[in-house]
Amino acid sequence: MDFASLMSKEISKKSTPPTPSETQKKYLKRAEVEAQREATYLSSQKALQAEKEEKARNKRKFEEEEAERNQEREEKRRRLAEESRRKREEEEEKKERARRKRLGLPELPPKGDDRDGTPLANGEEDLSEGELVAKLRALEEPARLFGEGHRQQLRRYKRLTAKNLTPQATQTSGPIPTTLELVPEAEMKVSKIVPKDPEGRAFLFRQLASYFTMVLTEWAVALAQRPDSVKQSFQGKAAFNGMVQARENMRPLFRRFERGELEDGILEPVVEIVKAAQERRYVDANDGYLTLSIGKAAWPIGVTMVGIHERSAREKLHESDKGAAHIMSDEVTRKFLQSIKRCLSFAQTRWPPDNQLQLMG
């Protein structure tokens, strides 16, 4: 092949049109690559989102169908349980009626709307449902309690009206509220002899309650008149707490005064203590408190048994229980007797004695 044929062949190659693959760009810009990648990512995310929504729809549909099936099962179970309970009650009622008929007992009352089925007492007035509800609401009470029938509702209304008609004993507004009528200070002087008649004992209880109320009131006033610096100090707070504790511990004593149930073994020493305190003989009052609290029984001190023979003085330790202390009988008695001692300690500072030898140590 000569040179001319080779040249014509190459010229013919150059003159042929390019193929579509050869027309594509050999190089792409970065923005074009990012755009292609973003389009691919968005399409994939869109497909995933559609798949998730489809799964959620299927799950929600399954849950709704399952809830409907459960509700149908519960309704069927409740209906069967109600039917079985009704049949069981009918069988029990039938057996009870047969038993009553066999034993000659009265027939069962017919079932009505009430759950209790208890008949009203003789002479008890019945009220209609609307009237009863209106009366209960007028008393600011619930119209119907849970599981309450008409008879129970009526009895509750009768009980509330009877409670409102019952006169309530008025209470004093002192440190310890009491239903006893307090006497003035001029009539608080107690007698040394404890009366035996009910009227005399009732007046004595009023005198004792009035005296302790006066002491507790003066004690609270004295603590309230202290400077703020003293009130906030440790000693000031301890003094106030002691007064509050004494007041609370004396509440059972006031309740016994109201009921008139204070036994003579405690009443007589308390009267002796109060009389001595009213006469400002605080040492004698303290002696009465010690006699009441620890008694007069001999206390063994030191060695009481030496050798094999019992000494003659040893029998005096347990010769009788006359000196047994009432303060050890129970916790309530011990507390209000200790509160009486605290009232004595304050009384000698509020009403000091003329004779300094009557001051307690």
Dump pLDDT digits (tens) for 182-195: 888 888 888 888 88
**CA-based nearest residue to 269, from 252, 251, 286, 248:** 286
- The pLDDT assigned to 142 comes to 86
Amino acid at 330: D
- The pLDDT assigned to 212 comes to 92
Amino acid at 234: F
Q: Which residues lie below 8 Å from residue 317, measured CB to CB, with a gap of 6+?
A: 297, 298, 299, 300, 304
- The pLDDT assigned to 110 comes to 61
- The pLDDT assigned to 46 comes to 93
- The pLDDT assigned to 155 comes to 86
- The pLDDT assigned to 308 comes to 60
Residues of the chain with pLDDT under 70: 1, 14-26, 108-125, 163-171, 296-329, 361
